[in-house]
Amino acid sequence: MSVKHHVSDGLLAAYATGELAEGWSLAIATHLALCPECRVRLARFETAAGELMEETAPDVAGIDQSWDAMRRRLVGAEVHAFPVQPAVSAPVHTAVIPEPLRSYLGSDVDGLKWKALGRGASHIMIKTGDSETSVRLLRIPAGSPVPEHSHGGRELTLVLAGCFTDGSERFARGDLEEADETVEHQPIAGAGEDCICLAVTDAPLRFKSRLLRLVQPILGI
Amino acid sequence: MKARAKVMNESPEDMTRLLLAVAQARDVAAFEALFRHYGPKVKTYMTRQVRSTQIAEELMQETMMAVWNKAALFDPERGNVSAWIFTIARNLCISSFRKQNRPEFDPNDPAFVPDEVVAADAELQSRQEADRLYTAMNALPDEQKELLKRSFFGEVPHSALAEEYGLPLGTVKSRIRMAVAKLRKSLEDRL
Ligand SMILES: [Zn+2]
Ligand SMILES: [Zn+2]
């Protein structure tokens, strides 16, 4: 497997500096789990951020008191590992959904409880700590289109199983599609296998179909 | 190994030596040197994020406490000390101040796709990259460097920068884009 569609510079830099809300970061971190190439780029941005921090004007006011306080804490400080979120285990070699996403879902694909969206599609809402993004796992039946829509903001779609095509572009496992206000599109799931993808948005999609716009609030999309 | 408390020229190599001394020998003098070098920088970074010197001081202390506790996890082959401390500060800021999770990949996950590069190559590469980055950043024109610096940490929104410099927003954005692109290019050209 090799990933063809990667995280853009702007988004990756924002992930590196910690500017992004949790929902966007979840999509990017999950892409990074599947993409050695972007992990190399991330390391560069983190090096750049470290370098920029190195160059900031140091705030040395009260540094001696700060150090005194620190030294007192060192006495008796134990070496303890940082709290690590308990990962949801998956059988070796067959895990479909990588961390960190699997822990957000509480299970790998076989244990998921899908909610019907109509036309054979289904979804699972994913809770994050930010109120800016809306995050969901989507399952589009093999060969089916996602209704044509445009976007009120940014949309990140990360393919985890199956594939979809959008115009002339094909997105398969690990591929990330970035769309914004300027994009109107109709992704179509590839034949043969349902397409499972993670979708993160910060504004409701604008469906072309009036009927869909009417039922949008009911379906929660 | 005992490291001296005073850092002479504060090179990245000095910082690595100090942190390794903390990791391997729990060397308090080495830690003090790191603290006096990075503490004030982390505090500046935190103040910009949280806009309160008191909270910034607390978060700086937490960051440096984590440096002491997690020193053994620092891998000099994978990056330099400033980047490592930056990521600790960043994550603390997200979890303690913004109260959000920081989603990160897990290299031990069965679904994780490992790197293809062998370790020795990666080590050499990351050292060279750090050097190149340093050179590339210093080679940027001052105006680009300044904008990059101030926008990189989300310190100032682009619109505020535009106002301050009396430049159209588009110009600010394109200068930042140019600076990032130049950095990338100078790294990639020499790969
Ligand atoms: Zn990638
Ligand atoms: Zn879309």
| DSSP states along B106-137 | -TTSTT-----S-HHHHHHHHHHHHHHHHHHH
Band (B115; pLDDT cuts 50, 70, 90): confident
Minimum mean pLDDT range among A31-40, B22-31, B129-138 = B129-138
The per-residue pLDDT for A89 is 62
What residue numbers bound the domain in which B167 lies? 119-189
Q: Which chain B residues are closer than 8 Å to A25 by Cβ?
A: 102-103
How far apart are alpha carbons B52 and B63 in whole angstroms? 16
Predicted confidence (pLDDT) at residue B162 exceeds the cutoff of 70: yes
CA distance A51 to chain B (A): 7
- Find the A34 Cα to ligand 1 centroid distance in Å: 8
Among A20, A56, A92, the strongest candidate for a mutation testing the B interface, having the largest count of B CBs within 10 A, is: A56
- Nearest CA to B12 out of B99, B80, B63 is that of B80
Residues B141 and B83 in one domain: no
Listing from the earlier edge strand, what are the strands of the sheet with A149-151?
A184-185, A149-151, A205-207
Radius of gyration of chain A, Cα coordinates, nearest whole angstrom = 21
Residue whose entry in the numeric block shows the structure tokens 């990059």: B148
Predicted pLDDT of residue B6: 46
Residues of chain B found within 8 Å of residue A29, distances taken between Cβ atoms: 103-105
Average pLDDT over residues A147-160: 92
Over 50: is that where the pLDDT of B191 sits?
Answer: no
Regarding whether B68 and B26 lie in a shared domain, the answer is yes
Q: Is B83 part of a structural domain of the chain?
A: yes
Asked if pLDDT for residue A220 goes beyond 90, the answer is no
Average pLDDT, chain A: 88
Are B180 and A80 in contact (CB < 8 Å)? Answer: no
Kindly report the CATH number assigned to the domain that includes residue B23. 1.10.1740.10
| Tokens read off for B24 | 């391997």
For position B189, what pLDDT does the model report?
56
Q: How far is the CA of A149 from the centre of ligand 2 (A)?
A: 6
Size of interface A-B (CB pairs under 8 A): 201
| B47 neighbourhood in chain A, CB within 8 Å | 59
* Number of domains making up chain B: 2
Q: Which of B56, B66, B152 sits opposite A52 (nearest CB)?
A: B152
Domain boundaries, chain A: 1-83+99-221
d(CA A220, CA A21): 21
The CA distance from A213 to the nearest CA of chain B, in Å, is 32
Which residue, B97, B129, B151, sits at the end of a domain?
A: B97
Sheet with A195-201, edge to edge strand ranges: A115-118, A121-126, A134-140, A195-201, A155-161, A176-179
Q: Which of A12, A39, A44 to mutate to test the interface with B (most CBs of B within 10 A)?
A: A44
Residues with Cβ within 8 Å of residue B150, at least 6 apart in sequence: B156, B161
Distance A55 CA to ligand 1 centre (A): 29
- What Rg value do the Cα atoms of chain B yield, rounded? 18
Among B13, B41, B65, most A C-beta atoms within 10 A, so best to mutate, is B41
**Is the confidence at residue B100, as pLDDT, over 60?**
yes
CB contacts, 8 Å: A60 with chain B: 40
Give the pLDDT mean for B51-60. Answer: 95
Q: Is residue B80 part of a domain?
A: yes
Contact residues for A22 (Cβ-Cβ < 8 A; gap 6+): A128, A129, A130, A133, B100, B101, B102, B103
Q: Specify the pLDDT at position B56.
A: 96
Same domain, B25 and B75: yes
Please list every residue in chain B whose beta carbon sits closer than 8 Å to the beta carbon of residue A39.
105, 115
Q: What is the mean pLDDT of residues A123-127?
A: 95
Are residues B126 and B76 located together in one domain of the fold?
no
Residue A164 Ramachandran class (φ > 0 left, ψ -120 to 50 alpha, else beta): beta
What is the pLDDT, as a whole number, of residue B7?
Answer: 44
- Picking from A140, A130, A139, A135, the residue whose alpha carbon sits closest to that of residue A104 is A135
Pick the ligand that lies closest to the CA of residue A33.
1
- Both B69 and B142 in one domain: the answer is no
Nearest-by-Cβ selection for B45 from A48, A56, A97: A56
For B70-98, the pLDDT digits (tens) are 999 999 888 899 999 999 999 999 999 88
> What is the domain-level CATH number for residue B185?
1.10.10.10
Same domain, B89 and B125: no
Identify the CA nearest to B14 among candidates B29, B28, B40, B34.
B34
Q: What is the band of B171 on the pLDDT scale with cuts at 50, 70, 90?
A: confident
Contact state of B113 with A35 under an 8 Å Cβ cutoff: yes
Q: Which residue has the higher pLDDT, A111 or A215?
A: A111
Per-residue pLDDT at B190 exceeds 60: no
Distance from CA of B178 to the nearest CA of A (A): 12
Ligand nearest to the CA of A5: 1
Q: How far is CA A22 from CA A107, A135, A221, B97, in A?
A: 19, 10, 19, 13
Q: Among A162-171, B45-54, B170-179, whose mean pLDDT is lowest?
A: B170-179
**Given this model, what pLDDT does residue A92 score?**
58
Q: What's residue B3's pLDDT?
A: 46
Residue A159 φ then ψ, to 5°: -80, 135
Chain B neighbors of A132, CB-CB under 8 A: none
Each residue's pLDDT tens digit, A8-40: 988 998 899 998 999 999 999 999 999 999 998
A93: left (phi over 0), alpha (psi -120 to 50) or beta: left
Instruction: Considering only residues B2 and A177, tell me which one the structure prediction assigns the higher pLDDT.
Output: A177
- DSSP assignment, residue A69? H
Tell me which chain A residues have a C-beta less than 8 angstroms from the C-beta of B101: 22, 85, 128-129
Of A29, A51, A66, the CB nearest to B104: A29
Q: Is the peptide bond before B157 cis (omega within 30 degrees of 0)?
A: no
Q: Do B90 and A17 count as a contact with CB atoms less than 8 A apart?
A: yes
| B33 contacts: CB under 8 Å, gap ≥ 6 | B3, B4, B5, B6, B7, B18
Quick one: which of B146, B145, B153 has its CA closest to B45? B153
Residue B186: its pLDDT value, please? 61
Strand partners, A116: A122
B169 belongs to a structural domain: yes
pLDDT reading at B132 higher than 80: no
Report the DSSP beta bridge partners of residue A149: A185, A207
Q: Indicate whether B45 belongs to any domain.
A: yes
Asked if residue B140 belongs to a domain, the reply is yes
Chain segment A56-115, per-residue pLDDT in tens: 889 999 999 999 999 999 886 655 544 455 566 655 567 899 999 999 999 999 999 999
Under DSSP, the state recorded for B93 is I
B17 and B91, same domain (yes or no): yes
Q: Is the pLDDT of residue B57 over 90?
A: yes
What fold does the segment set A1-83+99-221 form as a domain?
A: Jelly Rolls (2.60.120)
Nearest residue of chain B to residue A98 (CA atoms): B111
- In sequence order, the β-bridge partners of residue B48 are none
